[in-house]
């Protein structure tokens, strides 16, 4: 690990006068960058999958240092203090390049026929090493002195490995076939969150890339090889392969790292600070990992070189090193929800913001459809998280940040303060947005309100003002989905409180109605039997109310009808997989296309490559069924209340027999839900799968589109008509 002085020297550009706090924008930028770095380490540093490291605590203890930093140097020190929790020299704030060592002899001939070959920025280039092949081949032993390589940082850490390849040393030193260690890194197929109730399909795993093989040219059998290294050294990949095969020894002057042997990503922070993040760990054939020297020599004077020369002459004088075993897989760990405090500390609130950013950055299936810059949303949100004065303001900061995701699957639960803000009860009245107005669709008897009335005010607040105030705290895929959410919530308030409604009736007159909030924020089911035969021998099935066990009786009852109207203006009960197979004789009918995000690399460059994204694409078939098929025509009624599984029902029925959609566009939010927790005991959900039509057309943020458009009208509601159902009957007749 580099000294604090060298780490501080990496901060080349000052954003504030030393001793003075940075401007607010710069402070927030530093905080945001730290949070994104913390998230990258959390998901992609391999050892966090199995080592007992409290990575949350590392962040929480670093946050005050970030805000207190008065210079770029102090910021760099604070970042390094967080990374130090890993105990990993390969993950660090990069120091400023060190001074190159003075020119020294490339080669030295030691007694006993041992050659010393020095490889560092002060020695000759690789071409000269290549010209020494014949001398190395004839030597009894060779010591590769790899010390004093501090001038090689970042991408230059691979210089030694490339030199060994270009000079042909790998084949010269190998005896037979050598196996270079493989690389193991973390991969996430969606966000695994079994405890929070997320989809069981999402998981994390280790991905092991095969190691390479080096075939010797037959000249290395009688030669002893020693690699002399210190903490600045970048060993070539052949070194651990030779060590494992018993063909080489590693001597460490004080210590040694595997930095040059593993993959790292370069992440740039404000103030020209660069961080190198390990993304892989070595995997040997015997299941071990790491780089362990055979001998650690004191750093004083010539003692390390003397120890290396002794080993070159007598390699049996030291027992081979033993490497630590790798656990073969990781055991999932539950994320701490810090639920004991409804209003968390400032540091825990910032942790919440970073968890939100990370979950959507790496695992949100529709990240590319977001209209707002997600990095910008984080920077914009942090001050609000910091300044929240109570649990209510904290919950609203969370909700406001989530609203930028524009996904109707996004929601927060477990926040009593947010529920109190929205209200947990409503009067016995339901509304929908019809002809652009909030129209009563149901009212209990004795309320003084009738279907078709327009509510213009709630508790003295104009309807449009209330919509704007509440709407900024909901993520919605489409305008119609936002309208549906608001219609369900906007009359809410404390249970038992009185809602003062300004109502305009059919005659155009305004009146004030006072109603107690006595009902939960749930929709009523439609009246009438869930399965029935309508005039004209047309079947009707309310998919919102039909359970899986009732599918067979439904088809039995409707088997002789001319057509079936499936009413999907709501949410089904998992029956798509039972209903669709009864509508087709075909096998392997594609119902939907899926795309799941794969996260296996953090942002930043790995060499000259930066990962932009990856996914797993697959199709879903309608299950085969030997049950009797329904041969009549089918229609599905849709509107903004059909979301997620309801929209998936539409995909299944359309693929099965071309079911006709009648109504208005659906919500436009489909995809198995992922969930995670944040401090305060809040659980957040979002869409983890990108689900599309079988032909690849986008469904998210568009919704199922009707083949025949039919909308309710205020006049129709006042007269008690279901105009969408009427249009379906007209079409079928």
Question: What are the pLDDT digits (tens) for 381-440?
Answer: 999 999 999 999 999 999 999 999 999 999 999 999 999 999 999 999 999 999 999 999
Residue 453 and residue 548 share a domain: no
Tell me, yes or no, whether 70 lies in a domain: yes
Whether residue 316 is predicted with pLDDT greater than 60 in this model: the reply is yes
Residue 583 and residue 680 share a domain: yes
- The pLDDT value recorded for residue 128 is 75
Tell me, yes or no, whether 416 lies in a domain: no
Residue 654 and residue 631 share a domain: yes
Q: Out of 19-23, 267-271, 624-628, 684-688, which region has the weakest mean confidence (pLDDT)?
A: 19-23
Whether residue 611 is predicted with pLDDT greater than 90 in this model: the reply is no
Q: What is the mean pLDDT of residues 54-78?
A: 96
For residue 20, name the pLDDT band (cuts at 50, 70, 90).
low
Domain boundary among the residues 96, 127, 147 is at 96
Contact predicate 531/498, CB 8 Å = no
For residue 442, name the pLDDT band (cuts at 50, 70, 90).
very high
Tell me, yes or no, whether 373 lies in a domain: no
Q: What is the mean pLDDT of residues 516-542?
A: 94
For 105-125, write each residue's pLDDT tens digit.
Answer: 788 899 988 999 999 888 866
Contact predicate 269/293, CB 8 Å = no
Whether residue 525 is predicted with pLDDT greater than 80 in this model: the reply is yes
Residue 78 CB partners (closer than 8 Å, separation 6+): 34, 62, 65, 66, 69
Domain boundary among the residues 43, 63, 96 is at 96
Residue 548 and residue 450 share a domain: no
For residue 216, name the pLDDT band (cuts at 50, 70, 90).
confident
For 489-511, write each residue's pLDDT tens digit.
Answer: 999 999 999 999 999 999 999 99
For 337-380, write each residue's pLDDT tens digit.
Answer: 999 999 999 999 999 999 999 999 999 999 999 999 999 999 99
Task: Give the predicted TM-score (pTM) of the model.
Answer: 0.93
* CA pair distance 450, 439, nearest whole angstrom: 10
For residue 301, name the pLDDT band (cuts at 50, 70, 90).
confident
Residue bearing the bigger pLDDT, 158 or 84: 84
For 164-188, write each residue's pLDDT tens digit.
Answer: 888 888 888 888 889 999 999 999 9
Residue 662 and residue 561 share a domain: yes
For residue 157, name the pLDDT band (cuts at 50, 70, 90).
confident
Whether residue 8 is predicted with pLDDT greater than 80 in this model: the reply is no
Residue 567 and residue 508 share a domain: no
- The pLDDT value recorded for residue 10 is 39
- The pLDDT value recorded for residue 124 is 62
* CA pair distance 118, 349, nearest whole angstrom: 52
Whether residue 141 is predicted with pLDDT greater than 60 in this model: the reply is yes
DSSP secondary-structure letter at 4?
A: H
Tell me, yes or no, whether 414 lies in a domain: no
CA atoms lying within 13 Å on the CB side of residue 428? 10
Tell me, yes or no, whether 521 lies in a domain: no
Residue bearing the bigger pLDDT, 149 or 47: 47
DSSP secondary-structure letter at 260?
A: G
For residue 222, name the pLDDT band (cuts at 50, 70, 90).
low
Whether residue 552 is predicted with pLDDT greater than 60 in this model: the reply is yes
* CA pair distance 667, 581, nearest whole angstrom: 25
Residue 663 and residue 608 share a domain: yes
For residue 219, name the pLDDT band (cuts at 50, 70, 90).
low
Contact predicate 204/330, CB 8 Å = yes
Whether residue 633 is predicted with pLDDT greater than 80 in this model: the reply is yes
For 696-727, write each residue's pLDDT tens digit.
Answer: 999 999 999 999 999 999 999 999 999 999 99
CATH of residue 450's domain is 2.30.42.10
Q: What is the mean pLDDT of residues 217-236?
A: 82
Total structural domains within the chain: 4
Residue 92 and residue 164 share a domain: no
- The residue ranges of DSSP E strands in 224-361, in sequence order, are 224-229, 248-253, 264-269, 273-278, 281-283, 295-297
Residue 502 and residue 575 share a domain: no
What is the rounded average pLDDT for all residues in the chain? 92
- Written as one string, the DSSP assignment of 80-127 is HHHHGGG--TTSEEPPPPPPPPPP--SEEEETTTEEEEE-STTS--HH
Could you tell me the residue range of the domain that residue 604 belongs to? 531-732
Residue 573 and residue 457 share a domain: no
Domain boundary among the residues 468, 488, 516 is at 516
- The pLDDT value recorded for residue 21 is 64
Tell me, yes or no, whether 590 lies in a domain: yes
Whether residue 13 is predicted with pLDDT greater than 80 in this model: the reply is no
- The pLDDT value recorded for residue 176 is 84
Tell me, yes or no, whether 200 lies in a domain: no
Residue 273: strand, helix, or coil: strand
CA separation (Å) from 353 to 207, 496, 694, 713? 29, 34, 36, 43
* CA pair distance 283, 291, nearest whole angstrom: 10
For residue 221, name the pLDDT band (cuts at 50, 70, 90).
low
Tell me, yes or no, whether 338 lies in a domain: no
Q: What is the mean pLDDT of residues 533-545?
A: 98
Residue 548 and residue 675 share a domain: yes
Query: Of all residues in the chain, what percent carry a pLDDT higher than 70?
Result: 96
Residue 704 and residue 658 share a domain: yes
């Amino acid at each position: 690990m580099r000294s604090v002085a060298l780490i501080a020297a990496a901060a080349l550009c000052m954003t504030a006068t030393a001793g003075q706090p940075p401007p607010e924008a710069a402070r927030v930028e530093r905080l945001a960058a730290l949070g994104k770095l913390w998230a990258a380490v959390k998901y992609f540093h391999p050892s966090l999958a199995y080592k007992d490291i409290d990575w949350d605590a590392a962040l929480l203890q670093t946050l005050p240092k970030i805000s207190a930093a008065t210079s770029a140097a102090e910021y760099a020190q604070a970042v390094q203090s967080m990374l130090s929790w890993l105990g990993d020299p390969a993950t660090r704030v990069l120091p400023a390049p060190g001074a190159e060592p003075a020119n020294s002899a490339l080669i030295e001939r030691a007694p006993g026929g041992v050659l010393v070959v020095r490889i560092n920025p002060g020695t000759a280039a690789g071409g000269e090493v290549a010209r020494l092949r014949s001398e190395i081949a004839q030597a009894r032993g060779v010591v590769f002195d790899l010390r004093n390589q501090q001038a090689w940082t970042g991408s230059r850490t691979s210089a030694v490995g490339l030199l060994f390849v270009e000079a042909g040393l790998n084949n010269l030193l190998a005896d037979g076939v050598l196996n270079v260690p493989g690389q193991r890194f973390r991969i996430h197929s969606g966000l695994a969150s079994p405890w929070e109730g997320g989809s069981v399909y999402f998981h994390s795993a280790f991905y092991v890339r095969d190691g390479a093989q080096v075939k010797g040219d037959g000249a290395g059998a009688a030669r002893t090889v020693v690699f002399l290294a210190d903490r600045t050294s970048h060993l070539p990949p052949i070194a651990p392969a030779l060590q494992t095969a018993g063909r080489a020894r590693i001597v460490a002057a004080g210590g040694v790292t595997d930095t040059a042997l593993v993959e790292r990503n370069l992440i740039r922070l404000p103030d020209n600070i660069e961080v190198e993040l390990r993304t892989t760990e070595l995997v040997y054939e015997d299941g071990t990992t790491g780089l362990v020297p055979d001998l650690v020599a004191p750093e004083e004077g010539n003692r390390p070189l003397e120890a290396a020369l002794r080993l070159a002459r007598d390699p049996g004088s030291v027992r081979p090193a033993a490497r630590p075993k790798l656990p073969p897989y990781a055991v999932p760990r539950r994320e701490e929800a810090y639920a004991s405090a409804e209003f968390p500390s400032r540091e825990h609130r910032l942790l919440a913001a970073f968890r939100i950013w990370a979950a959507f950055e790496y695992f949100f299936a529709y990240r590319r459809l977001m209209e707002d810059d997600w990095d910008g949303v984080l920077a914009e949100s942090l001050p609000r998280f910091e300044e929240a004065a109570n649990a209510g303001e904290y919950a609203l900061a969370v909700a406001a940040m989530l609203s930028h995701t524009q996904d109707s699957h996004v929601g927060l639960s477990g926040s009593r303060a947010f529920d109190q803000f929205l209200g947990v009860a409503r009067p016995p009245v339901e509304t929908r947005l019809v002809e652009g107005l909030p129209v009563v669709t149901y009212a209990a008897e004795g309320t003084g309100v009738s279907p078709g009335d327009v509510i213009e005010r709630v508790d003295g607040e104009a309807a449009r003002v209330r919509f704007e105030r509440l709407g900024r705290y909901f993520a919605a895929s489409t305008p119609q989905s936002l309208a549906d959410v608001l219609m369900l919530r906007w009359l809410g308030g404390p249970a038992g409180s009185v809602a003062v409604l300004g109502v305009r009736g059919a005659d155009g007159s305004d009146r004030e109605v006072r109603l107690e909030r006595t009902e939960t924020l749930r929709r009523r089911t439609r009246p009438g039997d869930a399965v029935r035969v309508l005039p004209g021998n047309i079947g009707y099935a309310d998919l919102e109310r039909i359970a899986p066990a009732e599918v067979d009786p439904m088809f039995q009852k409707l088997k002789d009808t001319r057509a079936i109207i499936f009413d999907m203006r709501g949410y089904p009960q998992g029956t798509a997989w039972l209903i669709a197979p009864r509508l087709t004789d075909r096998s392997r009918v594609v119902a939907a296309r899926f795309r799941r995000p794969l996260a296996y690399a953090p942002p930043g460059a790995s060499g000259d490559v930066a990962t932009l994204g990856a996914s797993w694409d697959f199709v879903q078939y309608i299950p085969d069924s030997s049950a009797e098929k329904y041969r009549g025509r089918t229609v599905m009624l849709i509107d903004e209340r059909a979301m997620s599984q309801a929209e998936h029902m539409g995909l299944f029925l359309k693929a099965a027999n071309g079911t006709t959609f009648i109504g208005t566009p659906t919500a436009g939010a489909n995809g198995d839900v992922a969930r995670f927790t944040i401090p305060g005991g809040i659980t957040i959900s979002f869409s983890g799968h990108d689900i599309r039509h079988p032909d690849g057309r986008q469904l998210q943020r568009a919704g199922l589109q009707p083949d025949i458009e039919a909308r309710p009208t205020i006049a129709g509601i006042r007269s008690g008509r279901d105009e969408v159902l009427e249009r379906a009957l007209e079409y079928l007749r």
